Copies of this chain bind each other. A is one copy, B any other.
Amino acid sequence: MSELRDQCDIRIGFPRGDEGSPARWLRTIADYLENEDVTDEIYLSGKLAEKLETYCADVLGKPAALWFPTGTMAQAAAALIHAQATGRKSIALHPTSHLVLHEDDGVRELLKLDVAIMGEWPRVIDARDVQTLDDDPACAIIELPQRHNGGLCPDWETLTGAVAEIHARGARAHMDGARLWSTRDALGGRSYAEICAPFDSIYASFYKEIGALGGAILAGDEAIVEQARLWRHRQGGLLIRGWPMIADALRRLPAVIEAMPACIGAAREIAGRIRETGFQIEPWPVQTSMFHVRLPLTKAEFAAHRDAIARDTKVWIGGSGWELDARPGMSLEIAVDAQLAAADRGRLVAAFALLKRRIDA
């Protein structure tokens, strides 16, 4: 993290964490652990791990759940389980999928599975995308919401139509629910359990949106979770001590889930006001707690503007900027957590107005 960023008192960024310094963060977790009265839980078993896994299974409406150190590992386990169950070798992925863009081709190189691209960059997956796949895949992964489209969500009929088609092809449906926590509103106010019901397995992150120290959950039926336990061991995921991450997720989950509607509301309001300064927002209207600001800049050009604005205003408009799709310009990712929702909106919007003036100058 840059020093300039640290000097700002309003910061757009990923990943988030509102515990101050690393030392302060560990002390906050220590306070939580003291209240929970736990001993040194090793190899991911014990009271805390069970509590988090039970909590997630309940919230996601599945019989069982298993903690993983990372989402990459959790989704790899899911892919391996579904490949073994179906006897098939390919995984159908949207072109914006994390597994396509951000995992160094681990699906092919490590898992020895094939990738079938399904659907098109700027839009969500529908039944037709599944129907037109050349071969029957072992599983299809649907990301809810689609991060690289600024949190785009399908409507409920499109989602369930796509999942039904996956099942009709004899494939398993897996949800990349890294940011699942912010999708309830976009999916008609349904509960997490209702949203997860059509899926065979679900991964959700504990640091994206939740802001915990790390870790992820994989939920599904008991057979899937038992197999996931075996794969987690083979994958080298059986950390001797996951309890610092597990405790932080337990501590934060209920509060973040409760604050989510307010964060989505704030995201809509902030996006609307940035739009008034002259920028295009994607998706519009905003669907979750995140959105993109389209900028006619390269990432390097943006970084220069951002640093100058940080110096002048102590507002860090940085974070993640993407030049991934074929269009010119970039997408600036804005994810609104409780901290950003509570920040001075006037100063935040003024920083974007300044960016607009600098671009137009």
Indicate if the CB atoms of B234 and A109 lie closer than 8 Å: yes
Q: Please tell me if A298 contacts chain B, counting CB pairs below 8 Å.
A: no
User: Is B15's CB under 8 angstroms from A26's CB?
Assistant: no
Tell me whether B27 and A40 are in contact (CB under 8 A): no
A103 and B42 contact, CB distance less than 8 A: no
Roughly how many angstroms separate A247 CA and B21 CA in the complex, as a whole number?
14
A193 at the interface (CB under 8 A from B): no
Q: Does A236 contact B (CB under 8 A)?
A: yes
Cα of A30 to Cα of B245 in the assembled complex, Å:
15
Q: Please, what's the 1-or-0 string for A175-191, where 1 marks a CB less than 8 Å from any CB in chain B?
A: 00000000000000000
Contacts of A213 in B (CB 8 A): 240-241, 244
By a CB distance below 8 angstroms, the chain B residues around A17 are 40
Kindly state the separation between the CA atoms of A186 and B177 in the bound complex, as whole angstroms.
Answer: 51
Q: Digit string of A215-249 for contact with B (CB within 8 Å is 1, else 0)? A: 00000000000000011011111111101110100
A70 CB within 8 Å of chain B? yes
**Contact at B110–A15, with CB atoms within 8 Å?**
no
- Nearest CB of chain B from residue A23's CB, rounded to whole Å: 4
Q: Indicate whether A238 sits within 8 Å of B72 (C-beta atoms), given known contacts A21-B33, A30-B23, A231-B110.
A: yes
List the B residue with the shortest CB-CB distance to A68: B236
Known: A34-B23, A233-B104, A234-B105. A239 touches B70 (CB 8 A): yes
A106-B26 CB under 8 A given contacts A214-B240, A214-B241, A241-B214: no
Cα–Cα, bound, A209→B110 (Å) = 31
Q: A235-B73, A238-B70, A240-B207 are in contact. Are A30 and B26 (CB under 8 A)?
A: yes
Total count of chain A residues near the partner, CB < 8 A: 55
Copies of this protein chain in the complex = 2
B33 touches A240 (CB 8 A): no
From A25, A26, A230, A236, residue with most partner B Cβ within 10 Å? A236
Residue contact B239 to A214, C-beta cutoff 8 Å? yes
**Are B112 and A112 in contact, with the CB atoms below 8 A?**
yes
How far does the alpha carbon of A15 sit from the alpha carbon of B40 in the complex, in Å?
10
Contact (Cβ within 8 A) A236 B1: no
A 75-118 contacts with B by CB, 8 A: 76, 80, 103-106, 109-110, 112
Q: How near does chain B come to A350, taking the closest CB pair, in angstroms? A: 27
In the complex, A31 has a CB within 8 A of chain B: yes
Between A and B, 18 residue pairs with Cβ closer than 8 Å are: A1-B42, A15-B240, A17-B40, A21-B38, A21-B39, A22-B41, A25-B40, A69-B69, A71-B236, A72-B233, A72-B236, A104-B230, A104-B234, A106-B234, A207-B241, A235-B235, A236-B237, A244-B244
**Other contacts beyond A15-B42, A22-B38: 14, CB < 8 A:** A1-B39, A1-B40, A15-B240, A21-B33, A22-B33, A22-B244, A22-B247, A23-B31, A26-B33, A71-B236, A72-B234, A213-B240, A214-B239, A235-B236
